[in-house]
Amino acid sequence: MIRFRVQTAMLLCLGLTLAGCNQRSTPPFDEARAFKDVEAQLAFGPRVPGTPAHDRCQAWIAAELAKTGATPALQAFPDTVYGQVYRFTNVRARYGPKSGSWIVVGAHWDTRVIADNDPDPAKRALPIPGANDGASGVAVLLEMARVFQQQAPPIGVELVFFDGEDLGRGGDVGGFCRGSRYYVRALEHPRPALAIVLDMVGDKDLNLYYEVNSRQSARNLVERLWAGAAQVNAPGFIPEERHNVYDDHAPFLEAGIPGIDVIDFDFKAWHTSGDDLSQVSAGSLGQVGRTVLLYVYSSEP
């Protein structure tokens, strides 16, 4: 992801599907188990596209989803980035009602090939461990899948693990978000009513501000998500605008689909070799997991 403003038209509220007035109970989120999912991903090594670690992580994500009773769908596609040919794979799993309105909750599972922000020049050509930048969002999604197995969500939810998010260079938007771009291009009708993207959500010092482009696309939905955080003891959600970010929500916005980027872009170890397990807190994963689950279970079918 990079700092960038996505130019989108203002979108109106989405009607009954996301009205959010239902008082049904929200299942608990196991933050300790989510933290173990971060550990499991780091054990593979950097999940750089085209490497054995990337392949092993893809198989593991699919296997974990299968344990929840879902039938994982592997959305494989070729793409060329800066002259290099890749075969990316988005991993998808659907929960809840098969018809009616539905939403996407996504995160990228690949890791950056270079630590270009590292304070040590000697390490800038190395891949990042990706504990927060990649593994944290994946961990929240996997724990959500386990929750959905125990109590089906009231609306359709597709969990999407996007590949090829972090190959871009500098401010070149075209090198980023390859998996989410492909996913949006391949969408059929009915399209999702909303996409919630989780990125860098495990930082010990969690600061999740309104992302500017998200709030411009659907102010009421963004503010509803942040208001819910206050109900589930998630103080890391700060109801103030701070960053313009081009992330996996951007292809949805460009296609006219509201997208919310839940991202801590004040993460000091961003794109460095220091993005390791020491940067991640189970409590931060829990804040995000509880908040998104409240949003889902308070939505109307």
Gap between the terminal Cα atoms of the chain: 32
Q: Which listed CATH number (3.40.630.10, 3.30.565.10, 3.30.420.80, 3.90.1150.10) goes with 2-297?
A: 3.40.630.10
Place of tokens 């290099």: 84
pLDDT in tens, 266-290: 999 999 999 999 999 999 999 999 9
| pLDDT above 70 for 56 | yes
| pLDDT above 70 for 15 | no
pLDDT band at residue 14 using 50, 70 and 90 as cut-offs: very low
Would you state the pLDDT for residue 152? 97
More confident residue, 18 or 189: 189
Range in 15-19, 222-226, 234-238 the model is least confident about: 15-19
Q: What is the average pLDDT score of the chain?
A: 92
| pLDDT above 70 for 7 | no
Bridge partners for 95 per DSSP: 157
Alpha carbon of 127 to those of 17, 134, 176, 222: distances in Å?
Answer: 41, 13, 16, 33
Most confidently modeled of 3-7, 10-14, 166-170, 176-180? Answer: 176-180
Bridge partners for 159 per DSSP: 93, 105
pLDDT band at residue 1 using 50, 70 and 90 as cut-offs: low
Q: Are 91 and 58 in contact (CB under 8 A)?
A: yes
| pLDDT above 70 for 10 | no
Closest CA to 130 of 216, 38, 227, 257: 38
One-letter amino acid identity for 25?
S
Bridge partners for 158 per DSSP: 94, 104
Centre a 10 Å sphere on the Cβ of residue 114 and count the other Cβ atoms it contains: 17
Q: Where are the domains of the chain?
A: 2-297
Q: Are 248 and 179 in contact (CB under 8 A)?
A: yes
| Angstrom distance (rounded) from CA 258 to CA 299 | 16
Centre a 10 Å sphere on the Cβ of residue 107 and count the other Cβ atoms it contains: 26
Would you state the pLDDT for residue 30? 98
Phi-psi region of 130 (alpha: psi -120 to 50; beta: other; left: phi over 0): left
Would you state the pLDDT for residue 20? 46
Kindly state the average pLDDT of the residues 24-43.
Answer: 96
Helices (H), 186-254: 212-217, 219-231, 250-254
Would you state the pLDDT for residue 169? 87
